Amino acid sequence: MEWSLEGVRGLVAGGMQSVRECESSALGTGLCLLLLFVWYCYRVGREHGSPPPLRGGYVSESGRLVAGGGPRMALGGSEAGGGRVKGRPAGSAEEQNGFAYCQSAECFRCAHPGEGLNQRLYHSLQDYAKRYTWAGMGRVHKGVREQGRYLSSRASIQKPEVFFLPDLPSAPFFSREAQKHDVELLERSFPALLAEFQSVYQQVPARTGVQLPSGWKANGTPRGQWWTFYLVNQGTPLARNARRCPRTWRVLGQLRTFIANNVFGNACFSVLNPGTLVTEHYGPTNVRLRCHLGLKVPPGCELVVGGEPQCWSEGSCLLFDDSFLHTAFHEGSVEDGPRAVFMVDLWHPNVAAAERQALDYIFTPGR
């Protein structure tokens, strides 16, 4: 129900008039108290609005909000996890889609590294607790308070670069049962997602050195070509791309655990051309599981997470924790064609609902 300032004032004025007319009655007193409570709720609601949801919202390519959501912020993605590539060239000015090559002042990880970032996270958590509650915040509070120690002391096989939530079960790969509903929904939607991938991919040039069509991004690799077509990039829905893939967008809206409201959430078509290698890197956090739905999987393709190799399969999902060191490659021939997956970030199943709400607030795009 929407309340305007003029409407509430009018309601209160009318109520006070009624009270004056029956001042001596219990009914008048009760009505006065009720109206004063409504006024109080209205003022509190104006001062402490809840974090705006992203789901179903669109943001234009200029960053202006069209429907749903709040201000946006860049935090680049990656093939198997939106993380920093080992051996990032200092001062690189390349226009890439991954954090490793991000030079934007708007980038969360680039603009607020180290202790500065930790302080911002702690202030955001305190702000959340003041507005809402500390209930269920034990692990989040522990993680934010000791983030520097967690990130510096982690074993090299698992080292999230932005936020580590302590006491979460960890493994390179997870069973499909971990997010059974969403995995089954994605696999049932395989024909629709494949068709929409083919509709946007057929415009991509086959030879190197040619500018990619609108919506596609080239990512840095030691060799080969790796392209992505984002529907949601770091919590920011891309309106133009989403309109070109309406069925895929509807599937995203039906996922129960899609990270739709913070910078750790992505959804895209990801393509590796033959001969491509993605450098080993870590993702930003352990609170998510990255899901790959195989769309086109020729021979010679492999994903290696935490030293464990897995192969994609067309129409099936792979769930993995991209905070582990990982890489992907396509060693097939040109005749085999590209490897293509639909990539989407889901909540780790052991992150509680209260923790998800707090993390959405702390890592809201633009905060």
- The domains located in the chain, with CATH, are 173-202+215-351 (2.60.120.330)
Tell me the three state secondary structure of residue 138. Answer: helix
Which residue is it, tokens 């929904």?
A: 185
Cα–Cα distance measured from residue 361 to residue 45, given in angstroms and rounded to the nearest whole number:
17
Q: Identify the residue with better confidence: 72 or 159.
A: 159
CB of 316 closer than 8 Å to CB of 294: yes
Which whole number is the average pLDDT over 205-212? 64
CB of 130 closer than 8 Å to CB of 253: no
Cα–Cα distance measured from residue 317 to residue 182, given in angstroms and rounded to the nearest whole number:
10
Cα–Cα distance measured from residue 37 to residue 337, given in angstroms and rounded to the nearest whole number:
66
pLDDT per position as a tens digit, 221-243: 899 999 999 999 999 999 999 99
Q: How many CA atoms lie within 13 A of 201 on its CB side?
A: 23
**The pLDDT value given to residue 16:** 53
173 exposure class (CB count in 10 Å sphere: 0-12, 13-18, 19+): middle
**The pLDDT value given to residue 152:** 76
Tell me the three state secondary structure of residue 251. Answer: helix
Which residue is it, tokens 């790796």?
A: 226
Cα–Cα distance measured from residue 91 to residue 242, given in angstroms and rounded to the nearest whole number:
32
Which residue is it, tokens 């939106």?
A: 82
Cα–Cα distance measured from residue 2 to residue 347, given in angstroms and rounded to the nearest whole number:
32
Residue type, 113: P
Which whole number is the average pLDDT over 87-94? 37
Task: Please list the helix, strand and coil fractions of the chain in percent, rounded to the nearest 5, in that order.
Answer: 35, 20, 45
pLDDT of 210 above 60: yes
Q: Identify the residue with better confidence: 344 or 101.
A: 344
Name the pLDDT band for 7 (thresholds 50, 70, 90). low
300 exposure class (CB count in 10 Å sphere: 0-12, 13-18, 19+): middle
Dihedral of the alpha carbons of 75, 76, 81, 83, in degrees to the nearest 10? -80
Q: What is the mean pLDDT of the chain?
A: 78
Tell me the three state secondary structure of residue 121. Answer: helix
pTM comes to 0.73
Highest mean pLDDT among 77-81, 153-157, 282-286: 282-286
Tell me the three state secondary structure of residue 267. Answer: strand
User: Any alpha helices (H) in 223-337, and if so which ranges?
Assistant: 239-244, 246-254
For residue 265, give both structure tokens. Answer: 């959430």
Cα–Cα distance measured from residue 304 to residue 187, given in angstroms and rounded to the nearest whole number:
22
**The pLDDT value given to residue 113:** 54
Name the pLDDT band for 367 (thresholds 50, 70, 90). confident
CB of 282 closer than 8 Å to CB of 325: yes
Cα–Cα distance measured from residue 250 to residue 178, given in angstroms and rounded to the nearest whole number:
22
Q: Identify the residue with better confidence: 32 or 357.
A: 357
